[in-house]
Amino acid sequence: MNADVRCPGSLAELWPLLEDGFAVMAGGTDLLARRGAPGRVACLERIAGLQGIREEEGLLRMGACETHSRLLRHPLTASGLPVLARALSVLGSPLVRNMGTIGGNIVTASPAGDTLPPLYALDAVVELASRQGTRRVPLDGFILGPGRTALGEGEIVSAVLARIPAAGEVQHFEKVGRRKALAISVVSLAAVLRLDGSGTVASARLALGSVGPTVLRCPRAEAMLTGRRLDRETLLAVGETLREEISPIDDLRATAAYRRTVAGNLPLRLAV
Partner 1 sequence: MSGMVTLTFTLNGAPVRIETSPGRRVVDLIREDLGLTAVKEGCGSGECGACAVLVDGVARLSCLMLAAQLEGREVVTAEGLGTIDDPHPIQAAFAAAGAVQCGYCTPGMTVAVAELLARNPSPQRHEAREAISGNLCRCTGYVKIVDAVMDAAQAMGKETK
Q: Are 210 and 187 in contact (CB under 8 A)?
A: yes
CB closer to partner 1, 32 vs 237? 32
**Interface pick for ligand FAD out of 8, 80, 92, 264 (rule CB under 6 A):** 92
18: part of which helix (H) or strand (E)?
helix 11-19
Check binding of 63 to ligand FAD (CB under 6 A). Answer: no
Q: Are 160 and 102 in contact (CB under 8 A)?
A: yes
Check binding of 208 to ligand FAD (CB under 6 A). Answer: no
Please state, in angstroms and rounded to a whole number, the distance separating the CA atoms of residues 191 and 155. 31
Helix (H, G, I), strand (E, B) or coil at 203: strand
Q: From the CB of 249, what's the least distance to partner 1, in Å?
A: 23
Residues 6+ apart with CB under 8 A from 250: 256
CB closer to partner 1, 21 vs 219? 21
Check binding of 182 to ligand FAD (CB under 6 A). Answer: yes
**Interface pick for ligand FAD out of 17, 31, 160, 224 (rule CB under 6 A):** 31
Residue among 61, 85, 56 at smallest CA distance from 72: 85
Q: From the CB of 159, what's the least distance to partner 1, in Å?
A: 22
From residue 157, how far is each of 23, 139, 151, 202, 236 by CA, in Å? 13, 11, 8, 33, 38
Check binding of 249 to partner 1 (CB under 8 A). Answer: no
From the list partner 1, ligand FAD, none, partner contacted by residue 3 (C-beta under 5 to 8 A by kind): partner 1
CB closer to ligand FAD, 32 vs 78? 32
CB atoms within 10 A of CB 22: 20
How are the residues of the chain apportioned to helix, strand and coil, as percentages rounded to the nearest 5?
A: 35, 30, 35
Check binding of 44 to ligand FAD (CB under 6 A). Answer: yes
Q: From the CB of 113, what's the least distance to ligand FAD, in Å?
A: 4
CB closer to ligand FAD, 29 vs 214? 29
What 91-96 contacts at long range (C-beta under 8 Å, 24+ apart), as own/partner pairs, is: 91/115, 92/29, 92/68, 92/181, 92/182, 93/181, 93/182, 94/69, 96/29, 96/68, 96/182
Check binding of 4 to partner 1 (CB under 8 A). Answer: yes
Using CB under 8 A, list all residues that contact partner 1: 1-7, 25, 27-29, 32-34, 37, 39-41, 43, 45, 69, 92-96, 98-99, 180-182
Using CB under 6 A, list all residues that contact ligand FAD: 23-31, 33, 44, 64, 91-92, 96, 99-101, 103-105, 107-108, 113-114, 151, 156-157, 182, 184
